[in-house]
Amino acid sequence: MSFIPSAPKSIQQVLCTFGGVSTDASATINAVALANSIIIPQGLFAGSNSGSYTPAAGVRCFLNSTTQVIARSAGIPRSGDYFRAIVIEFFPQFIKGFGASTIAIPNGSSSATATITAVNTAKTTVILAGGTFTSTLVLGGNLGDNLEVDTQPSIVLTNSTTITASWIWNPNNSKPQTRVVGYNYLEFR
């Protein structure tokens, strides 16, 4: 009987801690093969510090290199707030195709698409990697003026060559912005 390794080669828990002055936080991980790895966001968590700050209305994460994860926020979180994610690296013999990128949803639209290399939809999963805005979010007055803040992006494999990102758009938004949705897709053999 021969040994067959499990599909995940490694699973790493990631913690990116914000310093209160930047929209980016990073974490160092053990090296992974980018072509066989995905990142799954778990969300933004409040740190122990308190005080006034611009809310992190949207956060997306991505593998910046084989050893670095970046969490990018639409606002500047408080010092000590942190973002958690999981990086899963698969053995290459289990992976047929992989991709990671972003889809920009322009102001005035509720969805946009990206074209990918053709995949078998029965063996492919797409994973939301969070969402941000194209510029630092500045809130003022009524949160209802910024409806996008109160909603979350979604992502779906529409067909064998298309990924669709959606995010509710508020036509009355006094501070409209392009929304950027991150994704990973993985096609298994």
Structure tokens at 84: 């958690």
Residue-level pLDDT at 178: 80
What whole-number distance in Å separates Cα of residue 1 and Cα of residue 181?
45
Write a three-state SS string for the chain.
Answer: CCCCCCCEEEEEEEEEECCCCCCEEEEECCCCCHHHEEEEEEEEECCCCCCCCCCCCCEEEEEEECCEEEEEECCCCCCCCEEEEEEEEECHHHEEEEEEEEEEECCCCCEEEEECCCCCHHHEEEEEEEEEECCCCCCCCCHHHHHHHHCCCEEEEEECCEEEEECCCCCCCCCCCCEEEEEEEEEEC
- Percentage of the chain beyond pLDDT 70 is 77
Evaluate whether 130 touches 153 at the Cβ level (below 8 Å): yes
- Percentage of the chain beyond pLDDT 90 is 39
Q: What is the pLDDT of residues 49-73, one digit of tens each?
A: 545 444 545 788 899 999 999 998 8
Q: What is the pLDDT of residues 140-184, one digit of tens each?
A: 433 344 444 546 788 999 999 999 998 876 655 555 578 889 999
2 inside domain:
no
Length of the chain measured in residues: 189
3 inside domain:
no
32 inside domain:
yes
CA 152 vs CA 29, 64, 81, 159: distances in Å:
27, 23, 19, 22
Minimum mean pLDDT among 9-18, 69-78, 180-189: which range? Answer: 69-78
101 inside domain:
yes
Residue-level pLDDT at 106: 86
Residue 5 has pLDDT above 80, yes or no: no
The domain tally of the chain equals 1
Residue-level pLDDT at 147: 43
Q: What is the pLDDT of residues 36-48, one digit of tens each?
A: 899 998 877 777 6
Q: What's the domain range around 125?
A: 8-188
Residue 134 has pLDDT above 80, yes or no: no
18 inside domain:
yes
155 inside domain:
yes
1 inside domain:
no
* Mean pLDDT, rounded, of the chain: 80
139 inside domain:
yes
Residue-level pLDDT at 78: 74
Residue-level pLDDT at 130: 85
